[in-house]
Structure 1
């Protein structure tokens, strides 16, 4: 069956508060700023809570609603034009109501489907894939959103000097943020066509690389960590999977490497992204990355990259977006082309 083309009409993002540099984060955790820079290569990140008091000032719902409003403004559309909402996150504010429904309420959306995808770094592109299917079913415009926050899983007020290295890395990798895109059935505003989508679970029989837990009334005093990562497995696995996504997308699209103008690689950390880009070894495409300046914001990352892309991309230019989720190993990707006008 021929897949209906979807178009990115506008991108919006939201980052809370002022940027937190490595000096401020290192002071809060009791670790050196130099260690953070050398180990993860991330200079800044943003938090929706106060580092000194722990007070949550911006929730995931707040950030996603702001990103959604910004995307609508960029597309030149009103809430009344939106016929569906899809939100991807690994860190919802509550299990129920869903963050998707709360965001819809803040945006003034009603009488429309509001989906929530529980996923890590692949969720944003899963949301685009679902949005494309809803357009194929007859919708004319919809809003896809991705975002994550850290306050429920990481306590930045602890003395981190005694935390094992495999846990400490999480305290310096992540930040809070959200992003959104307006998807349309016709090329309007930014008019970037989604030429191809890749989404595959490839983790059968493979241990999870990342696990985010949650507690209930019977185990709220458990000492097991809320967030666990096998960083060695991630370092080994993500670059390989990124290469697979690249070549599978090119094959599916019928493009050659020299046909690609921009590369949006996976964004685990500044150091990891450097390693991935070096291993992909593409000479032509211009890299579009953000994680070194924003921290790892999970499902917000592809939208933060796309916002940068929109500022650079000319009519006829093409881009590949690659995202790897290490939880149970999911490969996702997009092939994009700016078309400018009616096709």
Structure 2
């Protein structure tokens, strides 16, 4: 075992409320059955969880609520107390407020104090960025155990009174792609029962000169009446670039680890939509890998999605079994990946 390994002791997730299927969305936004069939065929996501009451438009939970729940579960699964944690890192695109930072609210609720804390503003690759910061803290000796968190509440950008029949496709797609969730993982200098060693991990900005593929606006008092949509997605650009970027990440991870494609037992692919996930997995063609995918039922829940995948992967990863994970962020084009190897149970 390398002296440079760090270990993921546990992973956990929190989803708000019951699942909201495509039929429920269609009823709320006045869309017909053909729209529901289009979502099933071309998006491939069956349901998602929302921190929102669709009828009233009232938020029913916050990112801090979800991250607190996920953090508690991860600590319990790792058999750790709040005082055992040396640092807390949160990746999110949708903090509850600009200040105080949501990471500090969550730490306070969990009873974690007198530690380093970091909040990373990023799209879905922020989950891997949070794991990267946690890993570097452990490798540098600044921490023995770090609680890494990720999550988003996209529903706060929903306008439930909107007539989606008049919406631009770049805006419409967000109503079916995304869900709300949070996740957590404990990163440690020492292994534990059922843990996984991190054999490789990287995140990289690759968007030089490239237009954003996703935009999430912030409105203050001066521009709150702007007619700009709060969230847009260039789905065609994403369909063009994400599969190729995923292949690049996979090849880099295999090179870094020295693994062969047939050595990989689990694949944690990007989770934009059910349809795209399946297309990407088929394109990668890892001969022995089982997919760890949650997007069909949880939707694309941003910075939570990698943690939802990790929770499932740790439960399946046998001793010595190998897993590769890929996350691609389209906002300004980032690619991220990690390689895990199962420890003895």
Aligned residue number for residue 20 of structure 1: 20
Aligned match of 2:221 in 211, 217, 223?
217
CA distance in 1, matches of 2:230, 2:196: 38
Aligned residue number for residue 270 of structure 2: 266
Matching of residue 114 in structure 1 with residue 117 in structure 2: yes
Matching of residue 11 in structure 1 with residue 11 in structure 2: yes
Aligned match of 2:329 in 313, 325, 330?
325
TM-score (norm 1): 0.97
Aligned residue number for residue 37 of structure 1: 40
Displacement of 1:36: 1.7
Does 237-246 or 131-140 show the bigger shift? 131-140
CA distance in 2, matches of 1:226, 1:135: 37
SS at match of 1:277: helix
Displacement of 1:299: 0.5
In structure 1, runs of 5+ residues without a counterpart are none
CA RMSD of aligned residues (A): 1.2
Aligned match of 2:157 in 153, 160, 163?
153
| Cα distance per residue 1:82-101 (max 9 Å; x no partner) | 01000000011000000101
Displacement of 1:226: 1.1
In structure 2, runs of 5+ residues without a counterpart are none
Aligned residue number for residue 71 of structure 2: 68
Query: Aligned pair count?
Result: 340
Matching of residue 101 in structure 1 with residue 104 in structure 2: yes
> Any runs of at least 4 consecutive aligned residues in structure 1 with deviations exceeding 3 A, and if so which?
none
Displacement of 1:140: 1.2
Aligned residue number for residue 294 of structure 2: 290
| Cα distance per residue 1:91-136 (max 9 Å; x no partner) | 1100000010111111111111110000101001111110011112
Displacement of 1:280: 1.2
Matching of residue 179 in structure 1 with residue 183 in structure 2: yes
Contact 1:36 1:42 in 2 (8 A): yes
1:188-203 residue pairs with structure 2 within 5 A?
188-203=192-207
CA distance in 1, matches of 2:312, 2:161: 33
CA distance in 2, matches of 1:156, 1:332: 34
SS at match of 1:246: helix
| Cα distance per residue 1:284-320 (max 9 Å; x no partner) | 1111100001011001001111111122111010000
Displacement of 1:189: 3.1
Contact 1:10 1:189 in 2 (8 A): no
